[in-house]
Structure 1
Amino acid sequence: MAGIEYALDGDLASITVNRPERRNALTSQDWVDLGRAANTAVADRARAVLLRGAGSSFSAGFDISEITPGEVDALELVDGIVNPALLAIRQIPVPTVAAVEGACVGGGLGIAAACDVILASETAKFAVPYTQIGIMADAGAHLFLREAIGYQRAADLIFSGRMLSAQDALTLGLCAQVSDAAAFEQEVDAYVGALAKGPTQALVRSKSILRSVQSVEEGLAVEARLQAEVFETQDAYEGITAFLQGRKPVFKGE
Structure 2
Amino acid sequence: MALVETWRNGAVAGIRMNRPDRANALSAELVEALLTAINEAIDSGARILVLSGNGATFCGGFDLSTLEQENDASLMYRFLRIELLLQALYYAPLYTVALVHGAVSGAGADLAAACSRRIAAPRSSLRFPGIRFGAVLGTRRLMALVGAKARAILLEQERVDAEEALRINLIDRIAQQDEWDAIVESLECSIAAVPTESASQVMQLDIAHGDRDLGLLARSIAEPGLKQRMQEYWLAMKAERAERLPREGIVGS
Please report the TM-score for the alignment, with normalisation by the length of structure 2: 0.74
Give how far 1:87 is off.
1.9
What's 1:102 paired with? 102
Distance 1:17 1:77 in 2: 18
1:166-208 Cα offsets, whole Å, 9 max, x none, are: 00000111111112x2543344333443355332434334334
Residues 91 and 148 of structure 1: CA distance in aligned 2, closer, same or farther (over 3 Å) = same
Matches within 5 A, 1:141-160: 142-150=139-147, 152-160=148-156
Distance 2:187 2:166 in 1: 19
What's 2:185 paired with? 190
Distance 1:212 1:72 in 2: 29
3-state secondary structure, aligned to 1:96? strand
Q: Whose radius of gyration is greater, 1 or 2?
A: 1
- Residue identity over aligned pairs, in percent, reads 26
Q: Which residue identity does 2:146 align to in structure 1?
A: I
Give how far 1:19 is off.
1.1
Distance 1:10 1:19 in 2: 26
Please report the TM-score for the alignment, with normalisation by the length of structure 1: 0.73
Give how far 1:102 is off.
1.0
Contact kept in structure 2, 1:166 and 1:178, CA below 8 Å = yes
Higher relative contact order (CA 8 A, sep 6+): 2
What's 2:63 paired with? 63
1:33-86 Cα offsets, whole Å, 9 max, x none, are: 11111111111011111011112311011111121287242321211x212211
Distance 1:22 1:116 in 2: 26
Distance 2:101 2:195 in 1: 27
What's 1:87 paired with? 87
Q: Which residue identity does 2:150 align to in structure 1?
A: A
The yes-or-no answer on 1:39 pairing with 2:35 is no
User: Gapped runs of 5+ residues in structure 2?
Assistant: 210-253
Greater than 6 Å deviation, 4+ residue runs = none
> Which sits farther off after the overlay, 14-23 or 199-208?
199-208
Distance 2:83 2:40 in 1: 17
Would you say how many aligned residue pairs link Structure 1 and Structure 2?
A: 207
3-state secondary structure, aligned to 1:170? helix
Q: Which residue identity does 1:156 align to in structure 2?
A: A
1:199-221 Cα offsets, whole Å, 9 max, x none, are: 24343343344x4699xxxxxxx
Distance 1:145 1:24 in 2: 21
Distance 2:160 2:42 in 1: 32
